[in-house]
Amino acid sequence: MKGELIFGVIAVLFVASFFYGMAAHPDSEFGGADGQAEDVIADLTGGTYEPWAEDTWFSNLKFEPPGGETESLLFALQAAIGAIVIGYFFGYYRGKGQAS
């Protein structure tokens, strides 16, 4: 139980820090830090840097989600696949442990 308790406390602190962040940045949409790096690059280069891989043969290999909905579907799918495997692992070995 101790482990779960410590994890719970840290999780609560994390959520609290998020609410503090929401209060401290009322206008923020909590966009990705990955995207903010783009702004830093624009700052550093005076806005002259253009990403270069737009029209290359391999850029056609990729699937670009048409919008936020499809993107969130694929992210959710990624999480779901992982969660199934994790749940199966623990379920299988817990059951096996009880059977023996």
The binding site for other proteins (CB under 8 A) comprises 1, 3-4, 6-7, 10-11, 14, 17-18, 20-22, 24-25, 28, 30-34, 36-38, 40-41, 43-45, 49-54, 58-59, 61-65, 71, 74-76, 78-79, 81-86, 89-90, 92-94, 97
Q: Which residues contact 85 (CB under 8 A, 6 or more apart)?
A: none
Least distance CB 2 / other proteins (angstroms) = 9
**DSSP letter assigned to residue 30:** -
Least distance CB 38 / other proteins (angstroms) = 7
CB half-sphere exposure, 84, CA atoms < 13 A: 5
Terminal C-alpha separation, the chain: 24
Least distance CB 80 / other proteins (angstroms) = 9
